Amino acid sequence: MTPISSFAGDLRSALMFITILPAGKDVRFSPLGMIRCFPVVGLILGGLLAALDCGASLLWSDPVVAILDMLFLVAVTGAFHLDGLGDAADGLFSHRSRERALEIMKDSSTGMMGLVAIIAILAVKTAGIYAVKTECSSSAVLVFLFIVPALSRGSMLFGIRFLQYGRKNTGTGHDLFEKKLPAKDFIWLLPVIVMALSLGIKGIVLVLAFGVTVGLLLYFYKVKMGCITGDMLGAMTEVSEAVLFLVAGAFV
């Protein structure tokens, strides 16, 4: 298999895993290979988001478009990461032992903490997108809509690389942790970071915020659980995306 065909297969696998976008027929599920493609999937989502935003902005005001952008991100991912956020919040904030918290996360029902976390993140994300649209130039808006989904999905690479998986032989994310993620698999984050830095001071602040957010989440997971799960990876994506949109829209 050539490197190009291998990458194409891994990208299709990643699309199938974390979005509802069509990935073609006979997709080869590649849990370890597809991880490097998560930022690329984020760029695809960001491109679609930017296109939607342009079209919707011709018909509605910025507050309405911000809500539509947020709903698009929920729909195009099948609420996959949101489900993880809700389960992770229920477990992490249950004030129970590590083992009991893992059991709570595995429960498919969403508790009060999970519901609060989901509502809060969606509200912050919507506010952030609205701020981007009102505080940034038209070209900067498109770039931020393009790269923030890529950065947020890139956050999962750090969780997979630096924390151990918390379940034994089970769980949605189990196959992603069969071996340590090599540093070369971070390569597709580099062009995203370069695009962010091209925006000047706001881009620099965005990249710094990305590093701080990911670092704080990993530290919290390490102290609280000493491990990570698929639900916690989903929570990383949602929290990172909300924070980055909010930072991108800040007056700098």
Q: Take residue 236 and report the two structure tokens written for it.
A: 């990383």
165 forms bridges with which residues in the sheet? 228
**Helix 230-248 and helix 138-162, axial crossing angle in degrees, nearest 10:** 150
105: its two tokens: 């996360």
With H, G, I as helix, E, B as strand and everything else as coil, classify residue 3: helix
**Residue 64 · residue 126 · CB < 8 Å:** no
C-beta of residue 73 within 8 angstroms of C-beta of residue 241:
yes
Q: 128 and 136 in contact (C-beta within 8 Å)?
A: no
On whether the pTM is more than 0.75, the answer is: yes
Instruction: Spell out the per-residue pLDDT of the chain, length 252, in tens.
Output: 677 778 999 999 999 999 999 988 888 889 999 999 999 999 999 999 999 999 999 999 999 999 999 999 999 999 999 999 999 999 999 888 889 999 999 887 888 999 999 999 999 999 999 999 999 999 999 999 999 999 999 999 999 999 999 987 776 678 899 899 999 999 999 999 999 999 999 999 999 999 999 999 999 999 999 999 999 999 999 999 999 999 999 976
- Residue linked to tokens 């956020």: 85
Q: Are 156 and 31 in contact (CB under 8 A)?
A: no
Token pair, residue 2, equals 């050539």
Q: Is 111 left (phi over 0), alpha (psi -120 to 50) or beta?
A: beta
Q: What residue has token string 């695009």?
A: 195
